[in-house]
Structures are given as C-alpha cells and as structure tokens.
Structure 1
C-alpha cells in the first residue's frame, strides 16, 4: 500500500504540472494583442530615435484578427512584417510548436512630436532664417518627412507659398542654388592647417552639399562639392 504522504505528493505534482501545461497552452486574444501592441511600441521608439523626433508621443491600436487562435504549448513570438510606415505597420504572431500557427496583425499608430512650423507666411523662394520657424507639437502620423531640428531647415528655400502655422515638410523646401552653371567659382582645398585655392568655372549648378563638375584654371574637369556661395571644395 502506498504511503499516504507519497500519494499526496504525487497528486500535488500532477496538479502543478497540469496547471502549468494549461497556462502554457492557453493563448488568449487579449494577451496576443497586448504582445503585438508592445512590439509596435518598441518599433515606434526605434523610428523616433532614427528620425530624431522631438518629444515623441504615440498611441497604438491593434486591428483585431477575426481568425480563432489555436492552442500553443510554447509562448508565441511576435515579429515585424512591414514597419516602413510607422502609422500603419504589420506584425506576425507565430506559435513555435511543430506545425504551429501564424497570424498577421495590423497596427495603427497616432504619432505626435514637436516639429518645425512656419512662424509667418513664407513666399516662394524665401530662404529661411531662425525668425521664420518655430517648434510646435503636431500630429505627424501622416507626415514622416517633417523636421524636428530647426537648424535643418534654416538656409533652405521654399518651393511654394507656405502659410503661418503650416508644418514644414521635405517636399516644401529645397537647398538654395549657391552656384549656377557658368559661374566663376573659387576651388578651396584644405588639409590640416594648409589651405590652397584656385579659380574655376562651374559646369553645373547646385545648392549646399551638391556635387557638381568644375573646370579648374588648368582646364581639368573635377568633381567638387558646393560649400557656400561661389565656393566649392574637391569632392575626391
């Protein structure tokens, strides 16, 4: 006859094992949605760091999958499927069991941050100064090309008329042309404390940072980078 204490211990272990197995096998829709939501939040934080969003805030909604969720003996994992557009991302929940399931989820995010806006009405071709822009919090869910750094838009030129309060976006601005084709330019090469310059002629036009062709005083065509009005530096 079994000892009563041993029987009690075996029953206790069996009950504990059953409880553990049931907990592992139960995957509720709510728990899976929370896992997807957490993955989306983490992905948005990465986007915010890469885009240098100023004081970002976001809320995430997970679009419910209507398919029934099957049992899974192991904790399911969530992987990104398409996170190129922060406002609408896709994730896949995977049960790692042999022959386990895969469910796709879509997340919608509302994102706000402090971004550059026009401080006053700006005419077409206006070169921006510090007085023309300011930072305000706006919903940028559909505006991933906005600016959170005011210095990034200064010295840029407007492509069209912009009204006061409008969020500045990349397609609204262009680097102003500092060198035009045919302009006489100064080619400046610097190395440590040594600076050498010579005259040249621009064969292309461009704004700050643009790489253009320049013919130097010796008649040799070189690739040069525009640094300021009428001045370039060797690009190679």
Structure 2
C-alpha cells in the first residue's frame, strides 16, 4: 500500500505525462534547403562551363520572418542570372500561403586559363601563352579551363598578362593577310596545279576571298585552306589527260 508521499509523487508524474503534448519534429530549416539548392545550381553551372575544381560558397542574406515547415520545403529558383544576388522561393507543401522568398549571395572560384604574358590581337595563341590559376569566376560565365579550346585561336583584342581567357574573346586566326603572297592550289583527282597569287583581302580558315593570279593577272575567288594557301572555287579544275581510243 502506497504512502501518502509516494502517492503524491506518482500522481505528479502522471499529471506531467497527461499535460505533455507531442511536439512534431520540424524538417530541415528552409534557409538550409535554399542554400543547398543555390549551391547545386552553381555547381551545375560550373560543370556545364567545364571549369576545373570549382569551389562554391553561398549565404542566405536579408532579414526574413521565421519560416517553420513540418515537411521539407520545395525550393524553386526565381532569378539566377547573377550569382552575387540570386532569388529563390520556398513553398511549404500542403500549407496555404506557406511561401517565402529568399535572396542568396553566391560565389564560384575555379581553375581557369589566364594569359601568362601580354597578347596582341589577331596573333595565334600557343600553350606557352597560357597558365592555369584559381580565380573568382562568379561574373565570368564564359571563362575557359581547357587549353584545347584556346590554343590555335586568336584574341579579338589585345590582352594584358593575367587576364582570364573568355570564349567571347576568341576568334579563328587570320591565315591570309591582304597583300600577302599566297599559293593557289587547284586539284582534280591525282592532278595538282600550283601558282602564286596576291591576296586582295584578309581571311581566316574556310573563308572566301579574292586573289589576283600572278600568272594570268585575273582576279579569282578562292577558299582559304591553310596559312598562305588557297584553292579556287570559280575556275574549272584541270583534268588529267586521257589517252586516245
């Protein structure tokens, strides 16, 4: 038989159990899910750009009202044009009006190609002209990491040493310059005829330019096939001589 003091102790314990209401476990905070979504977006962007060893940092910024959601929130991007200020929205499933906007500041660094020395415009770029460095590429979406995409190309404008190589800077190099002597090569089967000419226009690989044939003085249209070499596109090709029947 319980004593009065023991009875009071047990009753107090039962009362505490009855008064305690179960508290639902909250899901991962919405801020964390938004940051996770922003990080994935930036890593996907880095993979698409082909950047080497990207490193991403994100932070959710600005003051917000508390956003508690018993289930994982659905996060969607609203504006991701500028990594330094991206906008996302989080929606709590099954909760009417349970939506909130977030601003995320992101930064991407990666190992990208930079100029090892100053480069003049129009000159073919060699592997020795480039070096790989880790740089902030948050605002340089067309930065390049692979030398194969740059070597052999030329820059549209002069570049100073240490500049990040960007796709928009590159253009195929000029293979024929105006006034230069070119080799006109006409082929038909095993027959090949070569003559010298003067380029009347500058051009790049596969471009069509006008050339004055040094032997005939005629101006013909040619296609640039290599540095200083062209092939006629308007004149009939020489045919191999045929033996009589």
1:117-174: CA deviations, max 9, x gaps?
A: 1111112222101111111111111111111111111111122221111212233322
* Structure-2 change in CA distance of 1:136 and 1:123 (3 Å): same
* Structure-2 change in CA distance of 1:100 and 1:170 (3 Å): same
1:163-187: CA deviations, max 9, x gaps?
A: 1112122333222244789x99879
SS at match of 2:140: coil
Q: Distance in 2 between matches of 1:213 and 1:95?
A: 61
Displacement of 1:228: 4.7
Displacement of 1:91: 1.3
What TM-score, normalized to structure 2?
A: 0.63
SS at match of 2:104: strand
Partner of 1:95: 92
CA contact (8 A) 1:94 1:103 kept: yes
Q: Distance in 1 between matches of 2:193 and 2:64?
A: 70
**Structure 1: where are the runs of 5+ without partners?**
1-7, 189-194, 215-223
Which has the larger share of helix?
A: 1
SS at match of 1:134: strand
Partner of 2:77: 80
1:62 to 60, 63, 66: 60
Listed as ranges, the matches of 1:40-55 within 5 Å are 40-55=38-53
Measured on the aligned residues, the alpha-carbon RMSD in Å equals: 4.3
* Structure-2 change in CA distance of 1:172 and 1:213 (3 Å): closer
Partner of 2:29: 31
What TM-score, normalized to structure 1?
A: 0.65
Partner of 1:104: 101
Of the two, which has the highest radius of gyration?
Answer: 2
1:87-140: CA deviations, max 9, x gaps?
A: 432211012225232212121112111111111111222210111111111111
Displacement of 1:76: 1.7
| Displacement over 4 Å in runs of 4+ | 178-181, 183-188, 204-208, 226-232
Q: Distance in 2 between matches of 1:187 and 1:111?
A: 52
Displacement of 1:67: 4.0
Q: Distance in 2 between matches of 1:43 and 1:227?
A: 42
